[in-house]
Amino acid sequence: MSDGFLTRRVPLGGRRRVIHAPEGDYAFSRYTTDRGFRHFQRLCRAVLDAESVCLDIGANIGLTAMMMADVARRGRIYAIEAAPRNIAALRRNVFEHGASVIRPVHCAVGAQEGSISFADNSTFGYVLSAADLAGSVGTQVDLRPIDRLAEEWGLTRLDFIKIDVEGFEQDALTGARGMLARFDPLVMLEFNSWCQISAYDRSPRRFLEWLLDSFAELHVWRHGRLWSVREMGAHAFLHTHLIEHHCNTDLLAAQGPERIARLRAALAAPTGAAALLGRLARR
């Protein structure tokens, strides 16, 4: 522990890497295996290429951004993080690992331009709103729409958005409508009903309806498998989300079928020993 950071080796993407986190990050000690990252790694390999451009919104200390960069080696990863202590750790991790394709960005994202109060709470920091619980204390940070950021960066492609902003996902995606329509990236988002209710006094059912209206493709992504939310039905999804997933479900969304079809094909392809046997059989 030094300079306000916790430092340890973390298994990530098939190797152990020296990673820094802010002092007091109580989630950091749980990164003892890369089990929680394996499915994300497989997703990145399935949907990204060496030139891919990605947004990691709610990038925390940079672990998922580094996994994207392992695939998009000549692309660009915009790692957006609002928490001041997390962005400091993210910048240090990116610098020490030589991940030059990752560009750290310090701001919150939302539907409009301005500034907003942010509760810096380790891995679980979130934007404060008028509906927040009394007594919450935050730090003022810049609030930027994704469309405005993408315009400033001069993006000509956008392949993938990972967004985990503790219940503020609808606001963030509302500010990205132009980029979503122009590039149709695959979007991975956290559907966290506890955060939606406790932080923003919002209805998870209304958010689900908004997602279904906004994206033609909406799928549960869990343990490396896909389930169509439309085929499940809204009622069955919400029951599964609340009871089986304990209020926290990862979703994959897109406006067109191509990126989901590419992912399905990659998931269906044999891997490991099965893939090797298949190649030998074709010789």
Please state whether beta strands 15-22 and 53-57 pair in parallel, antiparallel, or not at all (unpaired). unpaired
Residue 183, pLDDT score: 97
CA neighbor of 111 nearest in space, from 171, 167, 163, 178: 171
Task: Give the C-alpha separation, 121 to 123, whole Å.
Answer: 6
Residue 279, pLDDT score: 44
Q: What is the mean pLDDT of the chain?
A: 89
Question: Do the beta carbons of residue 251 and residue 191 sit within 8 Å?
Answer: yes
pLDDT surpassing 70 at residue 272: no
Residue 242, pLDDT score: 96
| Listed range (90-94, 200-204, 236-240) with the worst mean pLDDT | 200-204
